[in-house]
Amino acid sequence: MGWGGMLRNGLEPWHLLIVAIVIIVLFGSKKLPDTARALGKSMRILKSEAKAMKGDDAAQAAGDAAARPVSEERTVR
């Protein structure tokens, strides 16, 4: 069947179970809640910074539009 058949099926439920068991064994059950909490906090910070950057970009675009002079009327002589 080759590599294509293996990759097509991807992760099956028992693969995820094995990965979870290995993570628990490596990091220990005491560190997992702290790690999950730190990861959640980091994700919230990342999300708030992304929103702030998007807001800054929108404010800058609005400021650039307001700073542009209105087209001047030209008189023909």
Instruction: Look up residue 54 and give its amino acid.
Output: K
> What local confidence, expressed as pLDDT, does residue 28 receive?
81
> What local confidence, expressed as pLDDT, does residue 61 receive?
74
> What local confidence, expressed as pLDDT, does residue 1 receive?
45
Q: What is the pLDDT of residues 12-67, one digit of tens each?
A: 888 889 998 898 888 787 888 888 899 999 999 999 999 999 888 777 777 665 55
**69: three-class secondary structure by DSSP:** coil
> What local confidence, expressed as pLDDT, does residue 5 receive?
54
Instruction: Look up residue 55 and give its amino acid.
Output: G
**This model's pTM is above 0.85:** no
The residues, any chain, with a CB within 8 Å of residue 24's CB and separated by 6 or more, are 32
